[in-house]
């Protein structure tokens, strides 16, 4: 990171959960960032184009669309911007997509301000510490099913066929929340 970029601590937070957004904005301002906020993909695009921030925290699922669209816009207008994607619906496929669009990290909710700050300020190419609580076998299985489901274009029948699983069983798995 160049010296001017390190000095410029502008941060865009794109999050539709108002209490979380406001709490995160206050916490990041206390850590020295000049924070602007957006609630929707449209507002995120507008903020990114009007005054491209050095840093951004973007929710994956927003009311009016996909936060990855904002990440892509940010990467186009300011390629060196450091973007962290947050989501409550984490899976490996969306994490990979976030990085392809230009995000530097992908954090599951609930993430606290310290985790977000660490991700934003991490040295490029640095490796994160291994997780203290690795994924359970059920979670790994769920992640694999989600990945295949994404690759099949959200087609339940095709996903079931590729996983050699009954379609109704797959529908029940997809209807449940992810295991811990």
Domains of the chain, by residue range, sit at: 3-121, 137-175
Q: Is 138 exposed, middle or buried (0-12, 13-18, 19+ CB in 10 A)?
A: exposed
What pLDDT score does 101 carry?
86
What pLDDT score does 90 carry?
64
Q: State pTM to two decimals.
A: 0.69
Chosen CATH of 137-175 out of 1.25.40, 1.10.3470, 1.10.10, 2.60.120: 1.10.10
Cα separation, 128 vs 117, in Å, equals: 13
Domain made up of 3-121: CATH architecture? 3-Layer(aba) Sandwich (3.40)
* Segment-wise mean pLDDT, segments of 10 residues, the chain, 180 residues: 59 90 92 93 91 92 88 92 82 79 83 86 71 72 85 92 94 84
């Amino acid at each position: 990171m160049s010296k001017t970029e390190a000095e410029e601590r502008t941060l865009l937070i794109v999050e539709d959960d108002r209490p979380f957004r406001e709490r995160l904005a206050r916490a990041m301002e206390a850590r020295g960032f000049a924070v602007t906020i957006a609630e929707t993909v449209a507002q995120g695009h507008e903020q990114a184009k009007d005054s491209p921030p050095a840093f951004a925290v973007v929710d994956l699922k927003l009311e009016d669309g996909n936060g990855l669209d904002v990440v892509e816009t940010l990467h186009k207008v300011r390629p060196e911007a450091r973007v962290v994607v947050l989501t409550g619906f984490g899976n490996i496929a969306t994490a990979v997509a976030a990085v392809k669009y230009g995000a530097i990290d992908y954090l599951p909710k609930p993430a606290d301000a310290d985790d977000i700050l660490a991700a934003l300020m991490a040295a490029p190419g640095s490796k994160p510490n291994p997780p203290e609580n690795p994924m359970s076998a059920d979670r790994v299985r769920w992640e694999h099913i989600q990945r295949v489901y994404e690759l099949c274009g959200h087609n339940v029948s095709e996903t079931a066929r590729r996983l050699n699983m009954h379609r109704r069983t797959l529908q029940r798995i997809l209807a449940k929340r992810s295991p811990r």
